[in-house]
Amino acid sequence: MQAQRHILVVDDHPDICEPLAAYLRRQGMRVSMAFNAAQARRLLQKQAFDLAVLDVMMPGEDGLSLCRHVGEQFGTPVILLTAMSSCADRVNGLETGADDYVVKPFDPQELVARIRTVLRRIARTLPSAAPAKASAAISDSAIRRYVFHEWTLDVERRELLDREGVAVTLSSVEYRLLRALLDHPNTVLSRDKLMDLTAGADAQVFDRSIDSQVSRLRKKLEPDPRHPNLLKTVWGNGYLFAAQVSAEASAA
C-alpha cells in the first residue's frame, strides 16, 4: 500500500485553510495547517512534507518568499494559491521555484488533481526512475552523486557542491532541471523535452519559464553566464549540456 502523502497547507484565511485541509484528508492525504509563514517554517523544521500548498498574499512574509525558502532548504514541491491571474504573476511564481500555480477561487477537485500530478512528476525525477544515460552501468536507485566539470551533485542530499566542497543552493525546479541535463549529457534537449522531464507536458505554463530556469542555473554553474561553456543554447532547437558526466554508486 502506498504511504499516505503528507501535505502542508498554508493560508491566513481559516475559512479557506480548514475546509481545504478537510477535503484533502477525505482524499486520503495527511494534512498539516499553518496560518502564516512563521508557523509554516516551524512545521517544516519538525516534519517532512511531500508537498506544500501556499497562499501568495499573506500578511508578514508572503507566499513567494516562503516558496523560495521551502525549495532552497527542503526541496519540497510547492503549489501556489493566489487571486492574481495574469501571465506575469504566474511566471513570477514559477520562477521562485513553484511547481504549479492555482488561481482563486478554485475547485478543490482540480487542486487535488494538480497535487497528484506534481507528485507524479517528482517521482519521475527521483533515483528510482528510468536509468540515466550518464550511468548506464549503474542502476538509478544506486546513484549517490554525479560528477561533472568542477562540480558534484549529491543526490542523497540534493546538494550542488563546487570544487572546494562548498554547497550552492538549488531550488526544487533547478535541481530537477540539472538532473535532467546530467541524465542526458551532450544531447540537444528541446524546451518541450525539458518541460516534460522537469515538470510534465500538461503544465503548459512551464514552457514560459524553462528559459528563465536555464538562466538561473547558468548563473550558478557558469563563471560567465552570458558566454556559457556548460549549458549551451542550440538556437532553434533547445539546450545542450556540454560536459563529461560520471555517476557514482552508493557504497554497498
What is the phi-psi region of residue 219: left when phi exceeds 0, alpha when psi lies from -120 to 50, beta otherwise? alpha
Closest CA to 36 of 67, 18, 10: 10
Judging by beta carbons within 10 Å of its beta carbon (0-12, 13-18, 19+), is residue 82 exposed, middle or buried? Answer: buried
In whole angstroms, what is the distance from residue 66 CA to residue 78 CA?
10
- Please tell me whether residues 101 and 159 are part of one structural domain: no
Domain hosting 56: range is 6-125
Q: Which one has a higher pLDDT value, 145 or 32?
A: 32
Q: Of 92, 125, 158, which residue sits at a domain end?
A: 125
In a domain, 1, yes or no: no
Residue 186 C-alpha cell reads as 551532450
User: Tens of pLDDT along 24-59?
Assistant: 999 999 999 999 999 999 998 888 888 999 999 999
How many domains is the chain built from? Answer: 2
- pLDDT bin (cut points 50, 70, 90) of residue 108 is very high
Instruction: Indicate the range of 29-43, 116-130, 231-245 predicted with least confidence.
Output: 116-130
Quick one: average pLDDT of 61-70? 90
* Domain assignment of residue 101, yes or no: yes
pLDDT in tens, 204-226: 444 456 878 888 899 999 988 88
164 within domain boundaries: yes
Specify the pLDDT at position 131: 37
pLDDT at 75 over 60: yes
Which of 101, 125, 149 is the endpoint of a domain?
125
pLDDT tens per residue across span 196-208 = 787 643 344 444 5
- In one letter, which amino acid is 208? R
Which DSSP symbol is given to 99? S
Q: Which residue has the cell 549503474?
A: 138
Residue 59 phi/psi, 5° resolution? -65, 150
Confidence tier at 69 by pLDDT (50, 70, 90): confident
Instruction: Kindly state whether residues 140 and 76 are assigned to the same domain.
Output: no
Q: How would you classify the pairing of strands 151-154 and 100-103?
A: unpaired
User: What percentage of residues in the chain have a pLDDT greater than 90?
Assistant: 35
Would you say residue 159 lies in a domain? Answer: yes
At 206 the pLDDT is 44
State whether 111 and 24 are in the same domain: yes
Domain end marker among 125, 152, 175: 125
Q: What is the pLDDT of residue 89?
A: 64
Backbone phi, then psi, for 168, in 5-degree steps? -110, 125
CA dihedral 213, 218, 220, 221 (to 10 degrees): 130
What is the rounded average pLDDT of the residues 138-158? 79
- Residue 169 domain-assigned? yes
Residues 203 and 109 in one domain: no
Spatial CB neighbours of 209, under 8 Å, sequence gap ≥ 6: 91, 94, 95
What proportion of the chain, given as a percentage, has pLDDT over 70? 81
**Domain of residue 231, CATH code:** 1.10.10.10
Residue 91 covered by a domain = yes
115 in the same domain as 209: no
Are 79 and 170 found together in one domain?
no
What gap in Å lies between CA 80 and CA 75, rounded to an integer? 15
Say whether both 12 and 91 belong to one domain: yes
Q: Based on the fold, state whether residues 143 and 97 are members of the same structural domain.
A: no
pLDDT band at 252 (very low <50, low <70, confident <90, very high): very low
In the DSSP assignment, the letter for residue 233 is E
Same domain, 155 and 217: yes
Question: Which CATH number covers residue 103?
Answer: 3.40.50.2300
Q: Indicate whether 116 and 172 sit together in one domain.
A: no
